[in-house]
Amino acid sequence: MKILIYGAGAIGSVFGGFLAKSGEEVVMLGRPQQMETIKSKGLKIEGIWGDHLINSNILCYSNGPDLKEDHGTSFDLIIITVKAYDTLSASSDIRNMVNMDTLVLSLQNGIGNTDMIAKGIGADQVLGGMVIFGAEIFSPGSVRVTVSADDVVIGRISDKTEAKRVEEIANIFTAAGIKTRTTEEINKAIWNKVIYNCSLNALASTLGITYGQLLESEHTKDIMRRIIAEIYALAQKCAIDLEPKTKEEYIKILFNHLIPLTATHKPSMLQDIEKRRRTEIDYLNGMVVQMSKDHGLSSPVNQVLTELIKFKEKKRSI
């Protein structure tokens, strides 16, 4: 399978590296320094999934026009791993790289990414995904997988997409070393990841701590409970069928399972702030705030966290 990783940061590089190592034909588009280092020295992946050096089956680009000129519409699968705020430009950019058989898989944080992509290329060629492992670029060309709370989950957003093709992709990922399963309820999985991210990412980034440290205080645990309550109220208003069905059940899973498995993770939002980059807050807690307003609800805890992250973004950019 010929696969394009569009936005090969930490998560994208992990997918690209493991898929290339397993024999798939991988093309990656990413930041110049990352791509040039991989070209010259190979891609180094370390961490909880072992140590790997991949220097074959990968072609690297930092320029979209060159990528299009060299590969045209030859991709079987395009995996989008850009930040949520770049989804519109990414979907526009890949439009001329999609043939009638290409599938496009969003493995991004936030709400609404698959909808934006589908507007450009059609819902029957778009898949959604949930990634709940953590990775960091600790130097150009080197990525560390830090934590993992569950398998990757992927699914179709249109029943016109052949289910067997989704299964094929999941099997390819699993064979490459990234355990993946399929679901017919991908929207539910994406919302579950949104709850997870909104509960942890902004709060831990505001405080400058890891996910595990959030469990050390009843104050931070209570804030997480309120975040979750606001999102469950919004989901009910939007007729989103969440799993688990109650906020109390989700809180138990978060505190007793998900956070312990990702306790040492440094929030991606905090990494962005430290690198003076824009965060995805508008597509996480900020989106909860906006959607709540649209449905006549208030979400004061998510709003405060959104405003605090925006302050930290501005402070870091000065």
In this prediction, residue 118 carries a pLDDT of 97
In this prediction, residue 314 carries a pLDDT of 87
- Considering the four listed CATH numbers 3.40.50.620, 3.40.50.720, 3.30.470.10, 2.60.40.10, the one that applies to the domain covering 2-184 is 3.40.50.720
DSSP assigned state of 281: G
CATH 3.40.50.720 region(s) of the chain?
Answer: 2-184
In this prediction, residue 317 carries a pLDDT of 58
The CATH superfamily holding the domain 188-317 is N-(1-d-carboxylethyl)-l-norvaline Dehydrogenase; domain 2 (1.10.1040.10)
Beta bridge partners of residue 60, listed in sequence order:
28
The whole-model pTM stands at: 0.95
Q: Tell me which residue of 139, 155, 90 sits closest to 119, measured CA to CA.
A: 90
315 is catalytic: no
Summarised one tens digit per residue, pLDDT across range 24-80 is 999 999 999 999 999 999 999 999 999 999 999 999 999 999 999 999 999 999 999
Summarised one tens digit per residue, pLDDT across range 231-281 is 999 999 999 989 899 999 999 999 999 999 999 999 999 999 998 999 999
- Please report which confidence band the pLDDT of residue 318 belongs to, taking 50, 70 and 90 as the band edges: very low
- Of the residues 21, 193, 266, 312, only one is catalytic, namely 193
Q: What are the E-state strand segments in the chain?
A: 2-6, 25-29, 43-47, 52-54, 58-61, 77-80, 103-106, 126-130, 133-139, 142-148, 152-156, 180-182
In this prediction, residue 315 carries a pLDDT of 81
Summarised one tens digit per residue, pLDDT across range 181-236 is 999 999 999 999 999 999 999 999 999 999 999 999 999 999 999 999 999 999 99
